[in-house]
Amino acid sequence: MWTTRHGRLIGPDARVVQVDDDASALGVHRPLDLGVTGDVAVTARRALEAAAAGSATGYRTADVRKDIAERVRLRDVPYDDESTGERIDPRTLSIALDDLLPAERVIGVDSGNFMGHPTMYLSVPDHEGLCFTQAFQSIGLGLATAVGAALARPDRLPVAALGDGGALMSVAELDTVRRLALPMVVVVYNDDAYGAEVHHFGPDGHALDIVEFPPTDIATVARGHGFEAVTVRTPVDLTGVADWLAGTRARPLLIDAKVTRDHGAWWLEEAFRGH
């Protein structure tokens, strides 16, 4: 469900081969044309050798090679910017932050409607650069995760990406960040709600009064914990982030980004197809 869009990413006429070192895993999730019990790396090398000996045209055509070179990052794919002046499109925000923040970074991401934006638009230098808490199916873990990542990799700029619900749920950890003197950037994608619940239950007419919040000035909350803070509604407001990066970074920075909220993220809509 999660990796193939309920199987729809595999075409109906595709021939499916599964390789696994556990024979009992073969064909568990869908019918196969061929099941191979073996080490994945060894099997891949043998398959490449066999393909090189033949004359079949592979998938890596000139057009595919061009797409990978020019559109391998989602930020390179055009989109309709839904920013309004009062709220910033989270894609626009994330791309701008990707340009601003140093490449040597370690990112901790909380769970929620917002979570795909930092994971898809904020690049990381390697596999140690992203800590994603979604496996726990819970919100409120991202800030503590980022604290741990910051302590593990003091050579990198720590970045916590949170929704406003998760940020408020874990607000006490702002004191931890300040007390440990971590030069952290905390990005809050603030849509004044538990966005996943809004977009999950709203279309069916359920009451949303317990999952929508009054506007919360999280920047002021952060300043009360000793942070520097900026409120972002447009890309121009990110000037404060550039100033912080160019300064001493003596205090951590929180970005209270007022993001658009008209609809759920596409990955959330896809996930909800299974519920």
Q: Encode pLDDT of 75-133 as tens digits.
A: 988 999 999 999 999 999 999 999 999 999 999 999 988 999 999 999 999 999 999 98
Asked if residue 274 has pLDDT above 70, the reply is no
268 or 212: which carries more pLDDT confidence?
212
Task: Tell me the average pLDDT across 238-260.
Answer: 97
pLDDT band at 52; cut points 50, 70, 90: confident
pLDDT band at 273; cut points 50, 70, 90: low
82 or 1: which carries more pLDDT confidence?
82
DSSP string of the chain?
-TTTTTTTTS-TT---EEEESSGGGTTSSS--SEEEES-HHHHHHHHHHHHHHS----S--HHHHHHHHHHSSGGGS-------SSSB-HHHHHHHHHHHS-SSEEEEE--STTTHHHHHHS--SSGGGEEEGGGG--SS-HHHHHHHHHHH-TTSEEEEEEEHHHHHHTTTHHHHHHHTT---EEEEEE-SB-HHHHHHHGGGT---TTTB-----HHHHHHHTT-EEEEESSGGGGHHHHHHHHS---S-EEEEEEB--SS--HHHHHHHTT-
> In this predicted structure, what is the pLDDT of residue 30?
86
Question: Which domains does the chain show, CATH number per domain?
Answer: 17-56 (no CATH), 82-272 (3.40.50.970)
pLDDT band at 263; cut points 50, 70, 90: confident
Note the pLDDT tens digit of each residue in 186-209.
999 999 988 888 888 887 888 888
Average pLDDT over the chain, rounded to an integer? 91
> In this predicted structure, what is the pLDDT of residue 82?
96
55 or 78: which carries more pLDDT confidence?
78
Asked if residue 275 has pLDDT above 70, the reply is no
The fraction of the chain above a pLDDT of 90, given in percent, is: 66
Asked if residue 26 has pLDDT above 90, the reply is yes
pTM: predicted TM-score of the whole model, two decimal places: 0.83
